[in-house]
């Protein structure tokens, strides 16, 4: 049996071109992690059920375990490695750190990429809108409340408000 041939393509990821050779049946998740060493994007279920693999394609959150890498060629791919501006964390990353909204952290990259896309479209999401948006991103550790609060905190700071986490948020009520 003949081995499938690799294809060569250039991906635009986090504003940088990446030329890689990969087998055509590989998912975007596999190519990001295995060929570009962008391991911030996590593989969880690989069935479209957990959200750990979420990245942005042209600004929209997508599950990279369900997308063939070839379909991402020519698109603007953004991963969690592209959220910070150099050494400066994004407001979402700051808020997650301030509130302890990540425990094991496995779900966090996917949640950040989903929430970032939400805040790009909606500067003042309601708690229900945040919940709905993050419904496909599962977290086994935090119980999700601090995650919702972190998104609200980041949104407030992005709007220029001097928002600080409440003591209840940090220590629990």
Residues that bind ligand FES (CB under 6 A): 43-46, 48-53, 63, 65, 102-107, 139-142
Question: Rounded to the nearest whole angstrom, what is the least distance from the CB of residue 129 to ligand FES in the complex?
Answer: 20
Do 68 and 26 form a contact (C-beta atoms < 8 A)? yes
Task: Compute CA 101 distance to the chain's CA centroid, rounded to the nearest angstrom.
Answer: 14
Measured from the CB of residue 61, what is the shortest distance to ligand FES in angstroms?
A: 11
Going by C-alpha positions, the residue among 168, 83, 87 that lies closest to residue 119 is 83
Q: Residue 90 or residue 137: which is nearer to ligand FES going by CB?
A: 137
What does the alpha-carbon distance between residue 108 and residue 120 come to, in Å, rounded to a whole number?
A: 18
- Residue 120 Cβ vs ligand FES, minimum distance, rounded to whole Å: 21
Q: Burial of 68 by CB count in 10 Å (0-12 exposed, 13-18 middle, 19+ buried)?
A: middle
Cβ closer to ligand FES: 50 or 119?
A: 50
Name which of 70 and 136 has its Cβ closer to ligand FES.
136
């Amino acid at each position: 049996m003949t081995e499938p041939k690799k294809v060569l393509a250039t991906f635009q990821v986090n504003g940088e071109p990446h030329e890689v050779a990969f087998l055509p049946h590989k998912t975007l998740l596999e190519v990001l992690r295995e060929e570009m060493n962008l391991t911030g994007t996590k593989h969880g279920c690989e069935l479209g059920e957990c959200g750990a693999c979420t990245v942005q394609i042209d600004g929209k959150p997508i599950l990279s375990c369900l997308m063939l890498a070839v379909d991402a060629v020519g698109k603007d791919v953004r991963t969690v490695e592209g959220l910070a501006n150099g050494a400066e964390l994004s407001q979402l990353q700051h808020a997650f750190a301030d509130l302890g909204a990540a425990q094991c952290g496995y779900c966090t990259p996917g949640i950040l990429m989903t929430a970032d896309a939400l805040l790009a479209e909606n500067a003042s999401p309601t708690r229900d809108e945040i919940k709905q948006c993050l419904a496909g991103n599962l977290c086994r550790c935090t119980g999700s409340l601090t995650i919702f609060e972190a998104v609200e905190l980041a949104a407030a700071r992005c709007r220029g408000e001097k928002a600080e986490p409440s003591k209840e948020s940090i220590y629990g009520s």
